[in-house]
Amino acid sequence: MDNTAQNKNTILHRFRLADIFRSRTKIISFVLIALTAVISHTYIARYAKAGPEIVTWDWNADAPLEAQAKVNKKELYLSSSSKARSISIYQNIKSFEKCTLYKFSAEMKYENVQQGIQPWNGARLIMTQYINEKPRWNLMHTLALFVDTGDWESHCKYFFVEPDTEKIQIRAQLSNCTGSFWVKNIHLNSVIQTKTYTCLKIGITSLWSLYFGLLLGSWMIVSGQGILKAFVILSFAAIIFGTIIAGDMKTQVSDVFSGQIMAPETSEIKKKQINIDVDIDIFNLGHFFLFLLFSGILTLLLANQPMKIVLINMLLLAGSTEIAQLYIDGRSPLFSDFLIDIAGGLTGVGLVKLYEMKKSKLLLEKTAGEMKGL
């Protein structure tokens, strides 16, 4: 009797856990946390101004006679009819603080900009850090890059000045392209993260941590399948690690796999090596194959449940890992990454189902053969 009662209690306990972790609960939790994260990120200011304006109106022009590079009272103007070389208006920032975050902003307009051979050949505004008089192209440096035609737009990005940076240069440029480019209201000043945002960041990241625990726990209550559970945990942990890795660390990892190509120096004919992303980003491959592995294993683990349960879990994990990046330094959610995750997940599910269909077909053929033998 005692064993029977204990078994009943165990079954009831498992049903209660299953009820807690059911798909509806996970979907509602996801929607609530995602809405909280998006709304708070949209309306709560992340940074506050911490230092004075360090951009002056002391500009230098670098342009051939046939091009125009003018510094007016309120704006910079560049125009070129040749892609043979770049034209620029630049300024070396004389006073700045190292190990500091800066807000770089400006308003820009462009007209009939025809792109050159390289991806960066367009109308652009950049902030470049130097060491030993050499530009550090591996660091984020582009505020905006344009081709074709566009009216005035405001742009803003945040740049971290590295501890070994010796010089900062701001440059408005038509990089080996033709067209016209206007820039005004250029600002560069240091900022600090607000206390409200810091507290909010801790709260939102804690909620996502609990949610990821909810997802993982819902898969672990399935009876048996110890090896499959272990592989689910490993693939899940790899996905979460890829989500929480900071932007600067991600850049360093990408640089290892980036191609080294030759690009023309701004003011000279000689060429200089710079780092750019290769056509197939290593992190995009990681997105695809990790979700392929995860979804394939989860399909095997939840073999006794409807296929929609696997698909719902895959969608929730893909969506939550993207939106969670709102509060990861240097990261931002991308719909393209979400689609890559889904593509990898569907591929994993499809491969498992094809394997199961082929296995069932072989089993039927074997059974049929045995029946004929009788």
Find out if CATH 1.10.1530.10 is the number for domain 60-193.
no
pLDDT bin (cut points 50, 70, 90) of residue 204 is: very high
**pLDDT tens sequence across 8-24:** 455 445 544 554 557 88
Torsion of CA 129, 135, 141, 145, to 10 degrees: 140
57-71, 88-102, 241-255: the lowest-pLDDT one? 241-255
Q: What is the pLDDT of residues 21-57, one digit of tens each?
A: 578 889 999 999 999 999 999 999 999 999 999 999 9
DSSP letter string over 39-81?
HHHHHS--EEE-S-----S--EEE--TTSEEEE-SSEEEEEES
Residue 49's φ and ψ, nearest 5 degrees, are: -60, 135
- Cα three-residue angle 127-131-133, rounded to 5 degrees: 90
User: Could you tell me the pLDDT band of residue 270, with boundaries at 50, 70 and 90?
Assistant: very low
Q: Could you report the per-residue pLDDT of 317-346, keeping only the tens digit for each?
A: 999 999 999 998 878 898 999 999 999 999
Q: What is the pLDDT of residue 9?
A: 54
pLDDT value at residue 111: 97
Specify the residue for token string 């500091």.
100
Of 111-120, 126-135, 143-152, 266-275, the least confident = 266-275
pTM for the model stands at: 0.71
Q: Looking at the predicted structure, is the pLDDT value of residue 265 above 50?
A: no
Q: 58-62, 99-103, 277-281: which range is least confident on average?
A: 277-281
Q: How far apart are CA 352 and CA 350, in angstroms?
A: 5
Q: Residue 370: its pLDDT value, please?
A: 63
- The pLDDT tens digits of the residues spanning 154-177 come to 999 999 999 999 999 999 999 999
Question: Picking from 78-82, 192-196, 264-268, which range would have the lowest pLDDT averaged per residue?
Answer: 264-268
Residue 61: which of 172, 183, 135 has the closest Cα? 172
User: How do the domains of the chain map onto residue ranges?
Assistant: 14-43+195-365, 60-193
| Average per-residue pLDDT for the chain | 85
Q: Is the pLDDT of residue 352 over 60?
A: yes
Tell me the pLDDT band of 358, cut-offs 50, 70 and 90. Answer: confident
